[in-house]
Amino acid sequence: MLIIPAIDIKDGKCVRLTRGDFSQKKIYLDNPRDMAIIWRKQNARMLHIVDLDAALTGEMVNFEKIREIVTNLDIPVQVGGGIRSVDAVKQYLDIGICRVVIGSAAVINPGLVEELLKIYSPSQIVVGIDAENGIPRIKGWTESCSLKDYDLALQMKGMGIDRVIYTDISRDGMMQGFGYESTKRFAEKAGMKITASGGVTNVDDLKKLDELSSCGVDSVIIGKALYECNFPCQELWYSFEDGLTLDHNFSTARKK
């Protein structure tokens, strides 16, 4: 099970939300780049970045912050949040992003996904489905749509998408465990590669997620539980990394 730390960016800062509520925002670091370096030093093999401002506006508000992260890391970085055009995808891939996550646009403009898959491989384009009670929510989780979550997944699968990032948003940021039943139901019906997200709190949750590997769940994005040091050794790592600065090992390497 690949564990992927999440970095959410709002107003240029590294933050975490509770159930996607922008009024329940906690700032962890002023510079997301420094957070990315911390996760890399803690042996992360991949990072997941979300531009929360872009998720609301559709504008690539934090593009330069994301470019700075990619430039200073030697591991794959995937990015999501407000990506609604071929040009936006191209800009991200051109700076070294390994794959982009199409969220709201997959519902609002599914033709975009078809167009992207004519240009890029399925390994570069994934779809994010953020659902509550089985119904996808879009535009920064402010609106719901008429499809079931697995119907949307099957529609995307028919276009050629082979991986979905699935978030049970009722669990996201709550630190109360992930939605085992909702994730299992979705994975079984979708029949795709699944990256789980939302609510993973401790090692026991990871063990339960591992039970879903037979359904296609092979990776997990973890946010608040990592930031709140819910896993062994993190508090020690943080104490040693106070005042972290860039070092030469990360200043020039970039994943191609």
Instruction: Indicate the DSSP class of residue 212.
Output: G
Decide if 94 is catalytic: no
Say how far residue 155 (Cα) sits from the centre of its chain.
21
Cα distance between residue 148 and residue 137, in whole Å: 10
The whole-model pTM stands at 0.85
The catalytically annotated residue of 34, 51, 130, 149 is 130
For residue 246, the model assigns a pLDDT of 35
For residue 25, the model assigns a pLDDT of 73
Of 34 and 138, the structure prediction assigns the larger pLDDT to 34
**Superfamily of segment(s) 2-243:** Aldolase class I (3.20.20.70)
Decide if 8 is catalytic: yes
Q: Are strands 13-18 and 2-10 parallel, antiparallel or unpaired?
A: antiparallel
* Predicted confidence (pLDDT) at residue 4 exceeds the cutoff of 60: yes
Q: What is the pLDDT of residues 21-63, one digit of tens each?
A: 656 678 888 999 999 999 998 888 999 999 999 988 889 999 9
The catalytically annotated residue of 8, 51, 149, 205 is 8
